[in-house]
């Protein structure tokens, strides 16, 4: 398969559905070999078959990224299998909404574990390989670290305080890493989607999900819309870095 990312190796977390799955397909369509990370092995296997049917190459890597050793092993397996790592998309996330005072602590802990610690685990393991890929003579002369935050990383709302905490953190980390890595030609991009039709809402309490849907007078984006944004950022010329991308459905105000 040829494309603007031919010869590159990408790793995508949260790849079993939603934005992660769509991003895996989109990067593969641009010629990247893709390692797909998530906990649901059966979903990953289906996606690998789909990508291979279209002429691409992909590897299913079942993994719980909240486990630091497991995340490190998943990154290492990717590099051992394909020889390099050029693009990392930290997409895995959890959105468990509810008023802070009444919500079980386990919900907050879960969001912090996935949205923050999981992203840290993967990034820490991947960065040496991204730096090496950017410096390699047989590559693009640049590597990409893409962190998926949220519009909630710009504006907190009642009932989403802890979720906003995690997503504001992703934005702050991304800017710090951008400054640390720019001189080594590793581009850091933070993507901040608004409402997207994914499985995130399926994990909400029914009364919270119903309240959100009742107040939604616009159509959420498709996961593929966000995947296209990620592909746009990672296919720019080596001297162009897209550092931040906020993308909302046309009708979304907040």
Pairwise CA distance, residues 239 & 212, whole Å: 41
pLDDT of 158: 86
pTM, entire model: 0.94
In a domain, 254, yes or no: no
Q: What is the CATH number of the domain that holds 141?
A: 3.40.50.720
Is the predicted pLDDT of residue 212 greater than 60, yes or no?
A: no
Identify the H or E element spanning 190: strand 186-193
Cα torsion through 192, 105, 201, 24, rounded to 10 = 50
* pLDDT tens digits for range 80-137: 999 999 999 999 999 888 888 978 899 999 999 999 999 999 999 999 999 999 999 9
Total number of domains constituting the chain: 1
Which residues form the domain of 72?
9-247
Is residue 253 in a domain? no
- Count of Cβ atoms closer than 10 Å to residue 92 Cβ: 27
Asked, for residue 252, whether it belongs to a domain, the answer is no
Rg of the chain over Cα atoms, rounded to whole angstroms, equals: 17
Indicate whether 4 belongs to any domain. Answer: no
> What residues act catalytically?
163
């Amino acid at each position: 398969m040829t494309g603007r990312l031919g010869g590159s190796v990408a790793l995508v977390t949260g790849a079993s559905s939603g934005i992660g799955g769509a991003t895996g397909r989109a990067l593969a369509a641009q010629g990247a070999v893709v390692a797909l990370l998530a906990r649901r092995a059966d979903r990953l296997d289906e996606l690998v078959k789909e990508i291979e049917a279209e002429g691409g190459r992909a590897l299913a890597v079942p993994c719980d990224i909240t486990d630091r050793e497991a995340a490190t092993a998943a990154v290492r397996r990717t590099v051992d299998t394909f020889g390099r790592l050029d693009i990392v998309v930290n997409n895995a996330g959890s959105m468990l909404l509810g008023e802070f005072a009444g919500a079980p602590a386990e919900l907050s802990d879960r969001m912090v574990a996935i949205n923050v610690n999981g992203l840290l685990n993967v990034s820490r393991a991947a960065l040496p390989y991204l730096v090496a890929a950017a410096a390699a003579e047989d590559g693009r002369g640049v590597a990409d670290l893409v962190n998926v935050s949220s519009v909630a990383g710009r504006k907190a709302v009642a009932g989403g305080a802890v979720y906003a905490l995690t997503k504001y953190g992703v934005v702050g980390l991304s800017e710090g890493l951008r400054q640390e890595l720019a001189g080594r030609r590793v581009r850091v991009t933070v993507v901040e989607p608004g409402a997207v039709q994914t499985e995130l809402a399926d994990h909400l309490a029914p009364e919270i999900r119903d309240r959100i849907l009742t107040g939604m007078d616009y159509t959420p984006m498709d996961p593929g819309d966000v995947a296209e944004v990620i592909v746009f950022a990672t296919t720019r010329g080596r001297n162009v870095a897209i550092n931040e991308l906020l993308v909302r459905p046309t009708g979304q105000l907040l």
